[in-house]
Amino acid sequence: MPAAIDFHVHPATRECTEALAGPPEQTTNFFHGAVPLVSIDETAAEYRRLGLVAVLLGIDAETTTGIPPVSNDYVADAVRRYPDVFVGFASVDPWKGTLAVEELERAVRALGLRGLKLHPGRQEFFPDDPRFAPLFAKCVELGIPVLFHTGMMAAGAGTRGGGGLRLKYTRPVPHLDDLAATFPDLTIIAAHPAWPWQAEMLAVARHKANVYLDLSGWSPRYFPPELVQHANTLLQDRCLFGSDYPFIPPQRWLDDFARAGFKDEVRPKLLYENARRLLSETGAVPGFA
């Protein structure tokens, strides 16, 4: 059995980091150091060494960024080569319309990917926009969860005008809340979770049982007491460990988590039990019977 399931892992390639967070000088400034760029083989070796399963996330923000996508075939190939390490999530560009819906179906049915990752900030769309309802209806039909970036984003951070990027797309209320209400059978995972609108995100998760929180993007040493309190109590069955690799190393996250005030009886839920239960709905989980 793996020590934990890291629910938020990106390929550590230049194309992926730039699509998500902008050029190297921006990511270096935002993360207070250069983000390591390594091969998928090196990533697999690191996660295997740590005894972790990684949920590997693609990204397609081609319409708004001009950057070629980290393709679903790339993610699926990594899963095929390292089935003991990776679970793959697809990404599609929602602005591609019918083509996005068709690509998602191909990624799940033909490639075996197990969820969908979207970044409303980089892809510049509101999740509750009716134009994208067919994409989420397809997710319900396929029985897969959707993981959304929420809150502050690295791309554009610290630059004049934020590089023209707008945080309004990543606010949970009303956008994710409306989506969760419109599609009650859609499992939504909100990543990071939504700072500076963290209280809103906690309220949405408390109100909507189809909403989970992935705790990636911050070191747990900086988690505010309200987040720790909810993860320890009311939301202990719907919070997930995520690092945001390669931007945050998983070992650093886990070391800080061990000192962050989480209850001993809750830690196993956050580290693997909740993720195992969620992923088991779409197939076997590496390392688990």
Q: Where are the domains of the chain?
A: 4-280
pLDDT at 289: 43
Give first-to-last CA distance, the chain, whole Å. Answer: 8
Q: What DSSP designation does 272 have?
A: I
Q: What is the pLDDT of residues 191-210, one digit of tens each?
A: 998 999 999 999 999 999 99
64 three-state secondary structure: helix
Taken as a whole, the chain contains a residue count of: 289
Domain formed by 4-280, architecture: Alpha-Beta Barrel (3.20)
Report yes or no on whether pTM surpasses 0.75. yes
> Is the backbone of residue 244 left (phi > 0), alpha (psi -120 to 50) or beta?
left
Task: List strand residue ranges (DSSP E) for 32-100, in order.
Answer: 52-57, 86-89
Q: What DSSP designation does 240 have?
A: E
Calculate ∠ Cα 21-25-28, nearest 5°: 75
**Contact (Cβ atoms closer than 8 angstroms) between residue 220 and residue 253:** yes
The span from the CA of 217 to the CA of 153, in Å, is: 9
pLDDT along the chain (289 residues), means of 10: 92 85 72 83 97 96 93 97 98 98 98 98 97 98 98 89 94 97 98 94 98 95 96 98 96 96 97 96 73
